[in-house]
Structure 1
Amino acid sequence: MEQTPLFLRNSYWVLRHGKSVPNEKGLIVSSLENGTLEKFGLASEGFNQARLAGELLLKEIDEKKILLENVRICYSPFSRTTDSAKVVADVLGISFDSCQCKAMLELRERYFGPSFELLSHDKYAEIWSLDEKDPFLPPEGGESVADVVSRLAVALAAIEAEFQGCTVLVVSHGDPLQILQTILRATKKLASSNGIDILSRTKEIMVHSILSQHRKFALQTGELRPII
């Protein structure tokens, strides 16, 4: 894993939730109201994917001699991400009810708006095409890339304020995790002082050329990745 930049107090891994019922049905489920419904949780294959991801993370933790007490799991409150985080916590031997596991509203799925909610996954192509043209322009009634950047930066700042010297697993969704990787990789490259906080650094990289390229960091369902 890459060395953690000096402006961050923790190291980060990301996990996209395992294959979900919406994935199986080919549906976009992006609103908080729908996403937290139990019926839109993980599919059977998704539980297996989450378990495999947990085993891989446990192996990495053991190899790097990271103490389990220094591991944190921060997750989106959607059913599919909560299910995934629970499985990983179980594999690691961490109590899901402990302070080591934290649901964060800011890590929720990107809301694609009422024009896309509960429609076919095929509609994602339209959204991503819009993102490339203007990452500051949201789908009607939904969130733009820039909107998601802003709330993810708040989440990162909160994590950095609460934890120090921890290995943090962020369990979230496709678009937020693409965007999160974009933020962290871009802020790492800033030539400015390492002392600048994550919120200030994020403001510096809020430009079209960076935000429009978030698809480069796409993750498959159940995919685990170290990012910084």
Structure 2
Amino acid sequence: MAETLPFLRNSYWILRHGKSIPNENGLIVSSMANGTLEEFGLAPEGIHQANLAGKLLDKELKTRNIPIETVQICYSPFSRTTHTAKIVADVLGISFKSCQCKAMIELRERFFGPLFELLSHDKYAEIWILDEKDPFTSVEGGESVADVCSRLSIALASLEAAYQGCNIVLVSHGDPLQIFQTILHAAKDKTSAQVDISSRIKQVMTHSILSQHRKFALLTAELRQIK
């Protein structure tokens, strides 16, 4: 059986999308309008990476005797994450059109704002410096760490209400998955009688916690279990 955090009803796996064309070209593509374009999907290397991630997940599930029927794949609607999720589903033998696969807008890429959109990914360093100084403030028109945390909290609460005893694979992007790990890691250590997951996450949305999200960075197509 997969491990489950004591305050959650389900087990969670996270998977960053495979290497994308924006990754390959060194571009920031973070808006819904651009991110859903096919031209910003997976690069050939990313397709290969996604296939390997699917095989790794398949091996993990079989090793732990986890029935494939308990697996739910939830993914960002961006083209690079949708393609990654479909490849993983195919490897696992899950129909991408079935109820076991679901796009969730809350899992979308962090929008870094119009001042950074389609510019060099070298600009990420500037954003992360700002995150350390104040994770509650965003670059003009973009999302702060706290903004992303709030929508991920909505996604988690929705999944926890809809499923029990499932193994949920979240296919998303670098920053959202870093932030997701940050808040769950902090919530795990929170000694609170509060059982509501949204309230628990609000308790850990502090400067000292959110500003450290880079500690949980993932490589492209990296799979991790939340535990």
TM-score, with normalisation over the residues of structure 1? 0.98
Query: In the alignment, what sits opposite 2:206?
Result: 207
Q: Distance in 2 between matches of 1:149 and 1:129?
A: 18
Superposed displacement of residue 4, structure 1: 1.6
Q: Which runs of 4+ in 1 moved over 3 A?
A: none
Matched to 1:207, the amino acid is T
Matched to 1:212, the amino acid is S
Matched to 1:137, the amino acid is T
Q: Does 1:154 align with 2:154?
A: yes
Structure 2: gaps spanning 5 or more residues: none
Query: In the alignment, what sits opposite 2:27?
Result: 27
Count residues in correspondence.
Answer: 227
- Tell me, what secondary structure is at the counterpart of 2:15? strand
Q: Distance in 2 between matches of 1:4 and 1:19?
A: 29
Superposed displacement of residue 6, structure 1: 2.6
Query: In the alignment, what sits opposite 2:226?
Result: 227
Q: Distance in 1 between matches of 2:3 and 2:207?
A: 27
Q: Distance in 2 between matches of 1:7 and 1:215?
A: 24
Superposed displacement of residue 2, structure 1: 7.9
Q: Distance in 2 between matches of 1:19 and 1:75?
A: 16
Query: In the alignment, what sits opposite 1:58?
Result: 58
Contact 2:34 2:40 in 1 (8 A): yes
Query: In the alignment, what sits opposite 1:102?
Result: 102
Q: Distance in 1 between matches of 2:42 and 2:103?
A: 17
Superposed displacement of residue 63, structure 1: 0.5
Query: In the alignment, what sits opposite 1:13?
Result: 13
CA distances 1:19-56 after superposition (whole Å, capped 9, x unpaired): 00000110000000000001000000000000000000
- Tell me, what secondary structure is at the counterpart of 2:168? strand
Q: Distance in 2 between matches of 1:2 and 1:85?
A: 20
- Tell me, what secondary structure is at the counterpart of 2:191? coil
Q: Distance in 1 between matches of 2:102 and 2:15?
A: 15
Query: In the alignment, what sits opposite 2:39?
Result: 39
Query: In the alignment, what sits opposite 1:183?
Result: 183
Matched to 1:156, the amino acid is L
Q: Distance in 2 between matches of 1:137 and 1:44?
A: 36
Contact 2:2 2:11 in 1 (8 A): no
Q: Does 1:74 align with 2:80?
A: no
- Tell me, what secondary structure is at the counterpart of 2:118? coil
Q: Percent identical across equivalent pairs?
A: 71
- Tell me, what secondary structure is at the counterpart of 1:73? strand
Superposed displacement of residue 7, structure 1: 1.8
Query: In the alignment, what sits opposite 1:196?
Result: 195
- Tell me, what secondary structure is at the counterpart of 1:111? coil
Q: Distance in 2 between matches of 1:2 and 1:130?
A: 37
- Tell me, what secondary structure is at the counterpart of 1:7? coil
Q: Distance in 2 between matches of 1:5 and 1:70?
A: 17
Q: Distance in 2 between matches of 1:104 and 1:151?
A: 11
Superposed displacement of residue 183, structure 1: 1.1
- Tell me, what secondary structure is at the counterpart of 2:180? helix
Matched to 1:64, the amino acid is R
Matched to 1:169, the amino acid is V
CA distances 1:150-196 after superposition (whole Å, capped 9, x unpaired): 00000000111111101110000000000000011111111012x51
Structure 1: gaps spanning 5 or more residues: none
